[in-house]
Amino acid sequence: MTPMPPSTIDGKSILITGGTGSFGRAMVHALVTRLNPARVVIFSRDELKQHEMQVDPTLRDARNLRYFIGDVRDAERLELAFRGVDIVIHAAALKQVTTAEYNPFECIRTNVHGAENVVRAAMRTGVQRVVALSTDKAANPINLYGASKLASDKIFVAAKWLVGRADHPLFGVVRYGNVVGSRGSVVPLFRKMLQEGATSLPITDPRMTRFWITLDQGVQFVLSCLAQMRGGEIFVPKIPSMKMSDLARAMAPGTKTHITGIRPGEKLHEVMITEEDARMTVELPDRYILRASMFGEERLGYHPDERVVPEDFSYRSNNNKQWLTEDDFRTILSGLETYAHA
């Protein structure tokens, strides 16, 4: 991933919604150990997770960390938290597909109304840049979680015109695939099953493919997008795909698998850029950028080697040029173990 110029972060006040989640913790760790922000604010609704971060040996001595209890559903609380903040990284969301299907009102309140609240609070308080985390499930969504994140993406893209002629805030979106080892994902699930003595791992379909990215890669990509954004973009990293059956063999060589069938709201393959979006997409060496489509917005000028993708282009986990082998994935997993014990 393209490194981010330190000048984008150094001396700035940064707030992370959902800052106690898997991504939030990794982002906070990167900010306080690798860069020099004036202040990092963790905004979340879970006081226990905030306490766990406060006593974390890698974070407890950081003098520039602040903790703010709040919910993105609460517009007034967000506005209070955003005062004096330069950069907002919006990572708060309800992310479990089945949970969203069973609790649709809660999903909409957090993922859609929460996005609106973040935009309004940023506009009212002088925030300079806002980047929102999205998901591959927002492209051609077939479940409520994906649909709610697509609506969120549209809100952040449209915020470019809500700002009007003002210099800021700049709003952008980062869309990427499954994060290796994040809470609630398949890797910790398989690990737990194996620790409990499972002799067979469940695979929904042997053909199923997914995009994969590590937490650290996601953090670095978001930081680089903060430096590159002009407002109204959706940034998509070039990341590898892997078959779920190969992932299971990588985690437990020799262990049997059994087919459970695709669950409601689940795709056989994931997509991050559809053919319909290709007309607004620019390709760079390490990423794609979906430019805002309103008013014939200019697409070029991000990188010397950029190019407009063909009209029939799509970026799907099954037509990807990059693939993880079983050995590649085991190397990633060993790196996660090293990071966890650092």
Catalytic residue ranges: 137
Are the C-beta atoms of residues 58 and 30 closer than 8 Å to each other?
no
Our CA dihedral for 212, 215, 216, 222, rounded to 10 degrees, sits at 90
Q: Is the peptide bond before 169 cis (omega within 30 degrees of 0)?
A: yes
**In angstroms, rounded to a whole number, what is the distance separating the alpha carbons of residues 134 and 4?**
20
337 φ, ψ (degrees, to nearest 5): -65, -40
Q: How far is it, in rounded angstroms, from Cα 111 to Cα 222? A: 19
What the block records as the tokens of 196 is 């409990």
Look at the alpha carbons of 339, 48, 16, 5 in this order and tell me if their dihedral is positive or negative: negative
Neighbour tally for 342: CB within 10 Å? 9
